[in-house]
Amino acid sequence: MKIFGENVFNEAVMRERLPKTTYKSLTKTIEEGLPLDPGVAEIVANAMKDWAIEKGATHFTHWFQPLTGITAEKHDSFISPTKHGLVAMEFSGKELIQGEPDASSFPSGGLRATFEARGYTAWDCTSPAFLKEDAGTLTLCIPTAFYSYTGEALDKKTPLLRSMQTLSKQALRLLRLFGNTSTTRVTSTVGAEQEYFLVDKKLFDKRMDLMLTGRTLFGAMPPKGQELEDHYFGSLKTRVAAFMHELNMELWKLGVLAKTQHNEVAPGQFELAPIFGTTNIATDHNQLVMDSMKKVALRHDMVCLLHEKPFAGVNGSGKHNNWSMSTDDGHNLLDPGPTPHENFQFLTIICAVVKAVDDYAELLRVSAANPGNDHRLGANEAPPAIISIFLGDQLTDIFSQLQNGGLSRSLQGEKSASGVKTLPAFRKDSTDRNRTSPFAFTGNKFEFRMVASSQSISGPNVVLNLIIAEVLSQFADRLEQATDFDQTLQEILKETAKNHKRILFDGNGYSEEWVEEAAKRGLPNISSTVDAALVLMRQSTIDLYEKHKVLNRTELESRYEINLEQYSKQINIEALTMIDMAQHQIIPAAIKYSTQLANSIIAIKSASSAADVSVQEELLNALCSTLVSLKANLTTLEEDVQVANAMTNDAYEHGVYYRDVVFKAMEALRHDGDKLETIIDADIWPLPTYAQMLFML
């Protein structure tokens, strides 16, 4: 296909445009993770510039991922003045390698005092440069890492690259122990399935809550929700199909392998899945996916909502982060092969994942925490806030064999026939999917399903890479010292199967019983972003991150501060938006309708004293009493917000106040607002309804 990768400075373009030696040197850097030769940068920059200009680009930008979780760009033009008032198009190696954006307005969590607000961006040559199209202009985007003057990571990419390095190192140690001498690098691979909602732009524009916070802060339940399950995988509406087509084109040009798309569970909800790739590139691509979704939707008079819970009472959105590890010679380390009970390398790696997820479940939980996800996790519809692992029949059986200290079989799925001769019989997938598990083995990869829809997937993958690297290193330490390799390995496998069986669960993860059972097993259940943040500051967390040089104490502190600060800020914005909507839209509507009702009662009564106006009176009374309650709850919320704004407590206590006081007051206000919506005349009600937003596409 001609357009695929058309806007990417990819390997094919490099091979064509770079001198052989430069190309070789650069690919060596990329493939083997070696340091970049500075001499190479100058030549690459020149070739990149020529390529970009030929395509019509006028500007370039270092494209980076500050701790806001989205991407940032600062555009510079290629233009450089020459003699006689002329200009030349220039782009030097230095400009390619390093940039210095004004970093003072990005969150740094105190990492960088503002007086020395210097941050540097550095070219990540392992992720290809690309051209981004915006309103007809093309900009050369150079993926970069972003760090401070003193070398501390200010972004999401730097720790991800560090975690990939440590995973490769530890996985290689293990592979060597199993006699592998040819692999030189192990990379984690990721495929991120992205869920999102689409709403009509005209309706969106009438909802201040959607505009400012990405979710509806008021809204009564529609008469129809998702109960008929008629949306899931249903045929696409023409308008949505046109959007998806254009989105695919856009993503293909950017080299993103967007592959499947379908309706999701909730009405107005959809999903896009790409083909997996190297974690680093998959993370960049997921940012491009989110970015493109928003832009393309606008061209179709729709708005793409990436919030985890745009609508109360219907399914929220998440990301399924499919994760595996691959060798540079193309072997998927989570591929069980036909008889996994004989595949000891595979079993060791599976055991490492199980132990890592059990030992560091709380870190995984933190990695998926944001204010939006607090509405989902544990809300009876998404993976609960408890981490557990689903292994499937075959591996579960192998695990029980391991506990008993002997391996004799790999269960094989039975042939499953449909009863129709002309349909192919297929082997039942031995990992037959348990959709309620937050961490499921799905054949040759693990699927982490807790990830929030709007967040960068960097955080969750940093944790996965890091914790699995740590356990691999523990195993390697023991095995390297072992006098009898086979015996030590047996011990490790048996121990893991015994000590970590509590994390394995193949029942219904959404059930109440599981919450109780998990508590009995001692599994952590952290229900809010605020409490999750505390895990970052534990000594054991700091030791782990520092041991593998993924983040140091200061860098972790900054992330702790930022997580909490963003939480409080988000709730604060939501509270202020609710106050504004209640004051300026809902109360006036209530007054208008109550006046109409009152006038109607007076008019009818004066026309006929015998007329029964009990319906109007009943409505009027219900309306007035709800309005009184709403006003009282509004006042409480206003006071709570004032208290919160005046607080000088530390970030954690501030967050707790927002969660326990402000958020609770918001719920009370919403309750009255939604009740008014059910009473007030639809022509007077100022906000588009759930039914309109969810079903009018």
Residues in contact with Mg ion by CB under 5 A are 193, 320
Token pair in block for residue 606: 């004066």
CA distances from 440 to 146, 428, 447 (A): 33, 17, 5
Among 129, 273, 464, 493, contact with ligand ADP (rule: CB under 6 A): 273
Q: Please, what is the minimum distance in Å from the beta carbon of residue 467 to ligand ADP?
A: 17
Give me 352's structure tokens: 């490492």
> Facing residues of 416 across strands?
426
Q: CA–CA separation, 192 vs 286, rounded Å?
A: 7
* Per-residue DSSP letter, 174: H
In the complex with ligand ADP, the residue whose CB is nearer, 469 or 623, is 469
Q: How far is CA 411 from the centre of its chain?
A: 35
Token pair 């600060």: residue: 565
Choose, by CB under 6 A, the member of 101, 128, 191, 438 that binds ligand ADP: 191
Selection from Mg ion, ligand ADP, none that 253 binds (CB < 5 to 8 A by kind) is none
Determine if 324 is a binding residue for ligand ADP (CB under 6 A): yes
- Determine contact, residues 531/440, Cβ cutoff 8 Å: no
Out of ligand ADP, Mg ion, none, which partner does residue 87 contact, by CB within 5 to 8 A per kind?
none
Q: Which of 10, 104, 345, 444 binds ligand ADP (CB under 6 A)?
A: 444
Between 193 and 284, name the residue whose CB sits nearer to Mg ion: 193
* Sequential DSSP letters for 334-397: T---S-GGG-HHHHHHHHHHHHHHHHTHHHHHHHT--TTGGGTTTSSSS--SB--EE-HHHHHH
The span from the CA of 88 to the CA of 263, in Å, is 49
CA atoms within 13 A on the CB side of 422: 0
For residues 359 to 398, the per-residue mask of contacts with ligand ADP, x marking binding by CB under 6 A and - elsewhere, is ----------------------------------------
Say which amino acid occupies 103: A
Instruction: Select from 61-69, 271-279, 475-483, 523-531 the region that touches ligand ADP (CB under 6 A).
Output: 271-279
The single-letter DSSP state of residue 222 is P
Rounded distance between C-alpha atoms, residue 428 and residue 274, angstroms? 25
Closest separation between CB of residue 464 and ligand ADP, Å? 11
Stretch that binds ligand ADP, among 217-225, 440-448, 606-614, 640-648 (CB under 6 A): 440-448
Asked if 432 is part of the footprint of ligand ADP (rule: CB under 6 A), the reply reads no
**Binding partner at 697 among Mg ion, ligand ADP, none, C-beta below 5 to 8 Å by kind:** none
| Contacted entry of ligand ADP, Mg ion, none for residue 191, CB cut-off 5 to 8 Å set by kind | ligand ADP
Stretch that binds ligand ADP, among 321-329, 415-423, 497-505, 680-688 (CB under 6 A): 321-329
Comparing CA positions, the residue from 44, 33, 62, 61 lying closest to residue 122 is: 62
Q: By C-alpha distance, which of 213, 219, 208 is closest to 692?
A: 219
Burial of 414 from C-beta contacts in 10 A (0-12 / 13-18 / 19+): exposed
What token pair was written down for 323? Answer: 């994760």
Contacted entry of ligand ADP, Mg ion, none for residue 442, CB cut-off 5 to 8 Å set by kind = ligand ADP
CB of 194 to ligand ADP, least distance (A): 10
Q: Which does 128 bind (CB under 5 to 8 A by kind): ligand ADP, Mg ion, none?
A: none
Residue 514 makes CB contacts below 8 A (sequence gap 6+) with 384, 386, 388, 505, 507, 508
Sort residue 389 into left (φ over 0), alpha (ψ -120 to 50) or beta.
beta
Segment contacting ligand ADP by CB under 6 A, of 44-52, 129-137, 441-449, 633-641:
441-449
- Count CB atoms within 10 A of the CB of residue 178: 14
By beta-carbon distance, which residue lies closest to ligand ADP? 191
Instruction: Note the residue count of the chain.
Output: 697
Q: Considering beta carbons, is residue 132 or 320 the nearer one to Mg ion?
A: 320
Of 170-178, 439-447, 562-570, 683-691, the segment contacting ligand ADP by CB under 6 A is 439-447
Binding piece for ligand ADP, criterion CB under 6 A, among 38-46, 184-192, 473-481, 626-634: 184-192
* 193 near ligand ADP, rule: CB under 6 A: yes
The distance of closest approach from Cβ of residue 322 to Mg ion in the complex, given in angstroms and rounded to an integer, is 7
Out of 168, 286, 322, 528, the residue judged to bind ligand ADP by CB under 6 A:
322
CB of 215 to Mg ion, least distance (A): 23
**Alpha helix ranges (H) inside 104-221:** 157-177, 201-204, 208-213
Q: Of 442 and 568, which has the nearer Cβ to ligand ADP?
A: 442
- Closest to ligand ADP by CB, 273 or 504: 273
Nearest residue (CB) to ligand ADP, 444 versus 572? 444
445 counts as binding ligand ADP under rule CB under 6 A: yes
Helix (H, G, I), strand (E, B) or coil at 267: coil
Q: Is residue 403 within the footprint of ligand ADP (CB under 6 A)?
A: no
Among ligand ADP, Mg ion, none, partner that 527 touches (CB below 5 to 8 angstroms by kind): none
Asked if residue 425 binds ligand ADP (CB under 6 A), the reply is: no
The residues, ordered by sequence, that sit 6+ positions from 452 with a Cβ below 8 Å of its Cβ are 308, 318, 319, 368, 369, 370, 372, 373, 376
* Binding partner at 121 among ligand ADP, Mg ion, none, C-beta below 5 to 8 Å by kind: none
Examine residue 566 and tell whether it contacts ligand ADP (CB under 6 A).
no
Closer of 193 and 672 to Mg ion (Cβ): 193
Burial of 416 (0-12, 13-18, 19+ CB in 10 A): exposed
Residue 300 or 320 having the CB closest to Mg ion: 320
Member of 241, 275, 519, 611 binding ligand ADP (CB under 6 A): 275
Nearer to ligand ADP, 259 or 631 (CB): 259
Question: From the list Mg ion, ligand ADP, none, which binds 162 (C-beta under 5 to 8 Å, kind-based)?
Answer: none
**Closest CB to ligand ADP among residues 268, 274:** 274
CA atoms within 13 A on the CB side of 221: 9
Q: Which residues contact ligand ADP by CB under 6 A?
A: 189-191, 193, 273-276, 320, 322-324, 332, 442, 444-445
